[in-house]
A and B are shown apart, each in its own frame.
Chain A
Amino acid sequence: MSTVMTPDTNETAQPESALRFDLAAIARWVQPEERVLDLGCGDGALLAYLSATKRVVGYGIENDVNRVIACLDRGVNVIQSNLDQGLAGFEDGFFDRVIMSQALQAMHNTQGILQEMLRVGREAVVSFPNFAFWKHRKSILEGRMPVSESLPHQWFNTPNIRFFTVADFTTLCDLLDIEILEWMGFDDQHQPLPPDADLNFLATLAIARLARR
């Protein structure tokens, strides 16, 4: 029989500029041909980009059926699962990188999932809205819960259940014996902050690269 000549899927590569700015930043940390797990992968934009440009072996985890369908539609491997139930079924150390972008603040089992990420992955990448961003602090001083691009919801309809800061996250990592290898922070103009900046004050969105200590 002839060898397979037809490509598997109709996937087309997206330019980096088409990615949401924080996803583009995360993508720069990913090395070619890594095994990547993207937790709460949404419509699969990051994985589609990574598989087209870096030939990663990538899987997304998503619980929402409509987002799962969006992933299927772009040919991204997506596994429906509720992250609060952990990553059972994935073996220890299988992935080079486990990514969770802007989802940690909506999870019940915060400590559990961080530990699970570094059980199945060599490195983890976590991005989250920084509650201590100076405009958020100002809002609190003015007596109102902050509403911004990184915290877009009102207090009464937010899916977020954990409100934490860059400093809080650092403390939790210490507690869990997790090493923060690198930080990236962005201001509310989506501009990257310099490496020595006070992210807890200046970043509206923070991204941490993590490993087991």
Chain B
Amino acid sequence: MAVRSVGVVSPQRMVFDEPLRLKSGGVLPRYELVYETYGELNAAKTNAVLVCHALSGSHHVAGYYEDDPKNIGWWDNFVGPGKPLDTRKFFVIGVNNLGGCYGSTGPKSIDPETGEPYGSRFPFVTVEDWVEAQARLADRLGISEFAAVIGGSLGGMQALSWALQYPERVRHVLAIATAPKLSAQNIAFNEVARQAILTDPDFHGGDYYRYGVVPKRGLMLARMIGHITYLSDDAMAEKFGRALKHGAFRYSYDVEFEIESYLRYQGEKFSRYFDANTYLLTTRALDYYDPAAEYGGDLAQAFARAQARFFVLSFSTDWRFSPARSREIVSALVHSEKPVSYLEIESKAGHDSFLLEHPHYHAAVRAYLNQVAV
């Protein structure tokens, strides 16, 4: 059978009335999660795979919408019939995380207490809180254990966290282009992005919804900074080099170089659909993530309770979460005698590589998932 798309999909919604106590101390008394599923859950319910999204991702992992066929899922090249995460074998779930802006309860949702969007009142959420919410969704879907939890970047952190928070509920973890915690440099980039949003006059302390505006410039800048870190120096050189927009200098601060045009375009596009508060919350969740912290920084000890098998993947030119960061995870897992495999894919595309099609990358995931029993 040929490789194809999962086809037309539609998001679903689950309402949770049991309060969720968050790591920050905040509480969400009631919340909703939007999610999508692909493939069929088998009778024994042993073939479920959770896909965790990264900073700007969503529950729309694969396929497209009937009324919007151009809106293709963010990991459509990875999930589908005959694809590395094969929906003929697995029942795949994508969830929009809490604090998100694609339909799950987040800062732009209406706070039942005030009848207005949460805005600045939305509590801080962490990777652990997301996993907790995902686990509750799994409960409601009757899934007691996942065959695998898979994610790239921030999604990889959730996948790792699953193995620690619910060791008996996940058999395999695929942690792709991720890190066991952010470095000072990672946090620094996040902080610049946040400052761009926080200092935008249209931010209004996070309650911009009330004023009918969005901190567009801040969000645009944040996304531009992000894009620099997603690409490698090589990829930028190859894609743009010093190519000029108009063939010759115009001696102005308008776009001179193609790279400027690209960043502005990406930033502008993003600022039209993404919520600034979600961006702030999500970058903070990245900063806070550090599963070794409660073990005196000993990551191996943090992994001691894991029962899953792990597959860790990195990309050679990824400098946001470099191969060295993945090797920290691998060393800690070996140290605590956990089954783990590791592969560094030769790729020019930097951090973005995890979203792209690459023959070795996809072949490796395919091979790994092929031997996962369901």
Contacts and interface: CB of A to CB of B under 8 A. Distances in A.
Interface of A: 1-11, 35, 57, 59, 65, 68-81, 89-91, 94
Given A72-B341, A80-B343, A94-B335, A6 B144 contact: no
Contacts of B304: none
A150 to B, nearest CB: 30
B331 A89 contact: yes
A2 B374 contact: no
Given A2-B144, A3-B168, A9 B372 contact: yes
B307 A4 contact: yes
A11 B371 contact: yes
Given A4-B307, A6-B147, A70-B367, 13 more contacts: A4-B168, A6-B374, A8-B373, A57-B337, A65-B343, A65-B346, A65-B364, A69-B360, A72-B368, A72-B371, A76-B341, A78-B342, A91-B335
A14 to B, nearest CB: 14
Contact of A73 (B346, B371, B373): B371
Contact of A89 (B44, B334, B341, B372): B334
14 contacts: A4-B145, A7-B373, A8-B372, A35-B337, A65-B360, A69-B360, A69-B364, A71-B341, A72-B367, A80-B343, A81-B342, A89-B330, A89-B334, A90-B331
B370 A73 contact: yes
A11 B169 CA distance: 21
Contact of B171 (A8, A10, A73): A8
Given A1-B168, A77-B341, A80-B342, A9 B145 contact: no
Contact of A1 (B144, B342, B368): B144
A67 B89 CA distance: 25
A146 B271 CA distance: 68
B120 to A, nearest CB: 37
Nearest to A7: B373
Nearest to A90: B334
B172 A69 contact: no
B293 interface: no
Contacts of B330: 79, 89
Contacts of A81: 342
Given A3-B168, A4-B145, A4-B171, A59 B334 contact: yes
B139 to A, nearest CB: 9
A10 to B, nearest CB: 5
Contacts of A68: 341, 343, 364
Contacts of A80: 342-344
Max chain A C-beta neighbours (<10 A), residue from B331, B334, B360, B368: B334
* Shortest beta-carbon contacts, A-B, top 7: A73-B367, A89-B331, A72-B367, A75-B371, A79-B342, A72-B368, A6-B46
Interface of B: 44, 46, 144-145, 147, 166, 168-169, 171-172, 307, 309, 311, 327, 330-331, 334-335, 337, 339-346, 360, 363-364, 367-368, 370-374
A91 B341 CA distance: 17
Nearest to A37: B334
B327 A89 contact: yes
B373 A9 contact: yes
A9 B307 CA distance: 13
Contacts of B343: 65, 68-69, 72, 78, 80
A10 B371 contact: yes
A77 B344 contact: no
A47 to B, nearest CB: 11
B371 A9 contact: yes
Contacts of A6: 44, 46, 145, 147, 171, 373-374
Contacts of B344: 80
A99 to B, nearest CB: 16
Contacts of A89: 327, 330-331, 334
A1 B373 contact: no
Nearest to B369: A72
Nearest to B46: A6
B172 to A, nearest CB: 7
A94 B168 CA distance: 26
A59 B336 CA distance: 13
Nearest to B310: A77
Contacts of A73: 367-368, 370-371
Contact of B311 (A11, A70, A72, A74): A72
B359 to A, nearest CB: 10
A57 B363 CA distance: 25
A76 B364 CA distance: 13
B343 to A, nearest CB: 5
B374 to A, nearest CB: 7
A74 B371 contact: yes
Contact of A79 (B307, B341, B345, B370): B341
